[in-house]
Amino acid sequence: MPTKFTPRQRAYIRKRTKYHEPDPSEEVGELNIVPFLDITVNIIVILLVVAASIAFFAQLEVQLPLLSQSGVGNRNNDDEPPFRLSLTLADNGIIVSGPNNKYAPGCEQAGTGRVITVPTRADEYDWEALTTCARRIKAEHPEAEEVRVSGNDLVEYQNFIRAVDAVRGTETEPLFPNVILVAGIR
């Protein structure tokens, strides 16, 4: 065994056996969480502002169905009930119905049985056809202003909003401005 080391070996041994003086932050052993809290608070504030702005701009005025004492709804004292349009969003299209009948495709005549008034095209709803159908029904019943929208739980929320937009019309040409969301029937 060599008793004498070369200068290079001594430098290597000194370098590897040198005592490391710990920094005061290393001695305490605590984690500095101030930067983490700063980022977290900023993210929370940003999320609150975004949520408030979305809630402000994405409001949709709809009503829930009302029940009168007779359990029929808002019925006038006339013999004939007012015309109420109903939309049911299904997987394969939209069913448009009035108080006594369902409309056939094109909304020109009444259909019977399971009729899809506005069928889907390429697995997407045809919103232009629904607006055209609403215009035809509005021409037949100009006093009607109410539409009831329902669907099953498989229909996406955005499709309900698009259906409401399609039958409401515009500010210059309102079709059915009073929208009532109705729970779907299984």
The pLDDT value recorded for residue 71 is 46
Q: Bigger pLDDT: 143 or 114? A: 143
Q: Bigger pLDDT: 26 or 151? A: 151
The pLDDT value recorded for residue 69 is 46
pLDDT digit string (tens) for 14-49? 888 887 777 766 666 677 889 999 999 999 999 999
The pLDDT value recorded for residue 70 is 46
Q: How far apart (Å, rounded) are the C-alpha atoms in residues 136 and 96?
A: 12
Surface-to-core class of residue 83, CB atoms within 10 Å of its CB (0-12 exposed, 13-18 middle, 19+ buried): middle
Mean pLDDT value across residues 77-87: 72
As a whole number, the mean pLDDT across the chain is 79
Residue type, 36: F
Q: How far apart (Å, rounded) are the C-alpha atoms in residues 133 and 136?
A: 5
The pLDDT value recorded for residue 46 is 95
From 170, 167, 115, 164, select the one nearest 144 (Cα to Cα). Answer: 167
Residue 77 in this model has a pLDDT that exceeds 90? no
pLDDT band at 64 (very low <50, low <70, confident <90, very high): low
Residue 180 in this model has a pLDDT that exceeds 70? yes
The pLDDT value recorded for residue 79 is 58
The pLDDT value recorded for residue 186 is 46
Q: How far apart (Å, rounded) are the C-alpha atoms in residues 127 and 147?
A: 16
Sketch the domain layout of the chain as residue ranges.
85-181
Q: What is the 3-state secondary structure (H, E, C) of the chain?
A: CCCCCCHHHHHHHHHHHCCCCCCHHHHHCCCCCHHHHHHHHHHHHHHHHHHHHHHHHCCCCCECCCCCCCCCCCCCCCCCCCCCEEEEEECCEEEEECCCCEECCCCCCEECCCCCCEECECCECCHHHHHHHHHHHHHHCCCCCEEEEEECCCCCHHHHHHHHHHHHECCCCECCCEEEECCCCC
Mean pLDDT value across residues 124-130: 88
Q: Bigger pLDDT: 142 or 20? A: 142
Task: Report yes or no: 150 and 181 within 8 Å, Cβ to Cβ.
Answer: yes
